[in-house]
């Protein structure tokens, strides 16, 4: 069958971006119904087609024509056909789990599906999002804590913003702790927030009995859809990736991007203008300072082995990478790129109020204005200006003559100062050390009682002050990169 007749027979005579390129790439001149899948449909809002929307089978990426139509031959191994929600439209969701996909696994013949969107009533150039890293529930009690603390905290935070402020969330992996029955509770928590959450697969969200990595996400896909995809809001292009590669035995995994996924990302980004701000969300951080702090080689399960291949694809853009996994809070920045590795919602696996580096259990909050992003760390059950903790002199047993200060969201563009009895004394001394409260709560084989494997971790966001013998009051002033100042004092 000639291509012109083929197009006429499926109802289109021109203008479809996808189908001619597929025919050219595959060399097919006809459609073999028994072993191929033709997917077609529209992306529409209020009955009108939306042009230029990316639609994909997870392998190739196509765009809708001027009438909002798409049609292409899906890859035979495709699990879903899905779209990249365009800016200006609400996120279609079911109980606040986004529904931007349709399952096609095992289908053959012709499959039609229209993606229906609702136009936003407010300008999405200004919007906010939160990153929840490692909710990681292993018991009903953990689930109850998530709902009673983090959900309530987030709802209270949103009330501090003007009405109709746009929010969405990123569940940054390890949504549960190998207990898939608690996906139900995670979903209930998300629904309670009233905010759509896009979800990332973590190493504790994988099917550990699968034969290879190819099948390690079957349960996750049933719950949340594709493991890698993109969407848009305002001027920001968001990407979610799966960087947890299961090696097929026990709970072993490495941080790694498959070629299939990187090739998909390359195709997705061809429709994103250079210079655009791109927010990449994944579970295992691409890189951290932990190996240097601990004077050890990189752990294959702690960072992404082929991260430089990702960086190369992202070189034309202004990039923020959102990650979890480590249960500590830190960031790094180089050239066009900054990675935010988040402290966890669960703290130290729901055993106490802080992570192993002293970061309070909580989540990242990001405020978007056009292509610019500002951020802060929100500690659960604390005011949003709670950004540092001062310890009494001698509380850190390794520095008995000094006052330790933990400034968990510190990065190299913060300015840290201290005053003694109102007199400016300059910058405190930064050290790689363990948070003294984390030592008290978690260090040693008997602590914490709930999960004895938890230990304090070395961090770079600790600062030390040696007061004069007669000092009565020490004040620490921390100014973040956006010019906002946080101040705490301690009496001696």
**Three-state helix/strand/coil letters over the chain:** CCHHHHHHHCCCCCCCCHHHHHHHHHCCCCCCCCCCEEEEEEEEECCEECCCCEEECCCCEEECCCCCEEEEEECCCCCEEEECCCCCECCCEECCEECCEEECCCCCEEEECCEECCECCCCCCEEEEEEECCCCECCHHHHHHHHHHHHHHHHHHHCCCCCCCCEEEEECCCCECCCHHHHHHHHHHHHHHCCCEEECCCHHHCCCCCCCHHHCCHHHHHHHCCCCEEEEECCEEEEECCCEEECCCCCCEEECCCHHHHHHHHHHHCCCCCCCEEEEECCCCCCCCHHHHHCCCCCCCCCECCHHHHHHHHCCCEEEEEECCCCCCEEEEECCEEEEECCCCCCCCCCCCECCCCCECEEEEEEEECCEEEEEEEECCCCCCCCCEECCCCCCCCCCCCEEEECCCCCCCCEEEEEECCEECCCCEEEEEECHHHHHHHCCCCCCCCCCCCCCCEEEEEEEECCCCCCCEEEEEEECCCCCEEEEEEEC
- Residues 169-192 have a mean pLDDT of 98
Residue 342 has pLDDT above 60, yes or no: yes
259-269 helix and 307-314 helix, angle to the nearest 10 degrees: 10
- Residues 410-418 have a mean pLDDT of 98
Rounded to two decimals, the pTM is 0.94
What's the pLDDT at 26?
35
> Do the beta carbons of residue 403 and residue 454 sit within 8 Å?
no
What's the pLDDT at 2?
36
- Residues 173-188 have a mean pLDDT of 98
pLDDT band at 34 (very low <50, low <70, confident <90, very high): low
Report all structural domains of the chain as residue ranges with CATH numbers, in order of start: 3-114 (2.60.40.10), 126-379 (3.60.21.10), 389-491 (2.60.40)
Residue 25 has pLDDT above 60, yes or no: no
Cα–Cα distance for residue pair 483/109, rounded to 1 Å: 59
Average pLDDT, the chain: 94
What's the pLDDT at 33?
57
What's the pLDDT at 9?
33
What's the pLDDT at 42?
98
- Residues 153-178 have a mean pLDDT of 98
Structure tokens at 126: 């200004």
What's the pLDDT at 32?
52
Residue 471 has pLDDT above 70, yes or no: yes
Maximum distance among all alpha carbons in the chain?
A: 93
- Residues 207-235 have a mean pLDDT of 98
What's the pLDDT at 14?
33
pLDDT band at 35 (very low <50, low <70, confident <90, very high): confident
What's the pLDDT at 350?
98
pLDDT band at 24 (very low <50, low <70, confident <90, very high): very low
Residue 170 has pLDDT above 80, yes or no: yes
Q: Beta-carbon neighbour count of residue 444 at 10 Å?
A: 10
Q: Nearest to residue 345, comparing CAs of 318, 315, 331, 324?
A: 324
- Residues 77-89 have a mean pLDDT of 98
3-state SS, residue 204: helix
pLDDT tens for each residue of 110-149: 999 999 999 999 999 999 999 999 999 999 999 999 999 9
Residue 207 has pLDDT above 70, yes or no: yes
- Residues 391-415 have a mean pLDDT of 98
Residue 17 has pLDDT above 70, yes or no: no
What's the pLDDT at 16?
42
């Amino acid at each position: 069958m000639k291509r012109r007749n083929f197009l006429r027979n499926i109802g289109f005579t021109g203008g479809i971006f996808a189908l001619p390129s597929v025919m050219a790439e595959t060399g097919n001149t006809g459609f073999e119904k028994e072993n191929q899948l033709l997917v077609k449909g529209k992306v529409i809002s209020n009955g009108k087609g939306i042009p230029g929307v990316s639609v994909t089978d997870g392998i190739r990426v196509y765009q809708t024509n001027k009438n909002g139509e798409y049609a292409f031959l899906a890859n035979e191994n495709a699990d879903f056909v899905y779209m990249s929600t365009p800016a200006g439209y609400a996120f279609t969701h079911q109980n606040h789990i986004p529904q931007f996909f349709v399952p096609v696994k095992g289908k053959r013949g012709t499959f039609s599906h229209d993606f229906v969107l609702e136009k936003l009533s407010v300008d999405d150039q200004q919007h906010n999002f939160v990153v929840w890293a490692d909710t990681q529930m292993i018991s009903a009690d953990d689930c109850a804590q998530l709902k009673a603390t983090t959900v309530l905290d987030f709802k209270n935070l949103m009330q501090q913003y003007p009405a109709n402020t746009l929010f969405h969330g990123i569940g940054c992996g390890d949504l549960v702790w190998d207990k898939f029955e608690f996906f139900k509770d995670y979903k209930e928590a998300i629904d309670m927030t009233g905010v759509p959450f896009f979800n990332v697969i973590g190493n504790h969200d994988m099917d550990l009995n699968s034969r290879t990595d190819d099948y390690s996400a079957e349960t996750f896909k049933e719950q949340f859809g594709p493991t890698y995809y993109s969407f848009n809001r305002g001027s920001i292009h968001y990407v979610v990736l799966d960087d947890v590669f299961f090696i097929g035995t026990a709970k072993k995994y490495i941080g790694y991007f498959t070629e299939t996924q990187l090739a998909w990302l390359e195709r997705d980004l061809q429709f994103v203008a250079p210079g655009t701000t791109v927010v990449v969300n994944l579970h295992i951080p691409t890189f951290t300072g932990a190996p240097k702090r601990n004077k050890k080689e990189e752990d294959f399960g702690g960072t992404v082995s082929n991260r430089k291949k990702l960086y190369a694809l992202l070189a034309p853009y202004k990039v923020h990478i959102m990650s979890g996994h480590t249960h500590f809070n830190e960031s790094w920045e180089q050239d066009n790129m900054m990675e935010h590795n988040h402290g966890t919602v669960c703290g130290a696996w729901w055993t106490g109020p802080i992570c192993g580096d002293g970061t309070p259990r909580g989540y990242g909050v990001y405020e978007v204005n056009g292509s610019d992003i500002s951020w802060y760390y929100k500690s659960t059950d604390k005011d949003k200006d709670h950004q540092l903790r001062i310890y009494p002199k001698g509380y850190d047993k390794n520095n008995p003559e000094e006052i330790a200060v933990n400034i968990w969201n510190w990065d190299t563009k913060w300015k840290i100062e201290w005053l003694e009895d109102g007199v400016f004394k300059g910058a405190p001394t930064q050290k790689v050390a363990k948070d003294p409260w984390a030592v008290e709560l978690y260090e040693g084989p008997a602590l914490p009682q709930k999960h004895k494997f938890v230990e304090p971790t070395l961090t770079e966001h600790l600062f030390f002050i040696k007061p004069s013998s007669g000092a009565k009051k020490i004040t620490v002033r921390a100014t973040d990169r956006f010019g906002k100042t946080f101040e705490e004092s301690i009496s001696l």
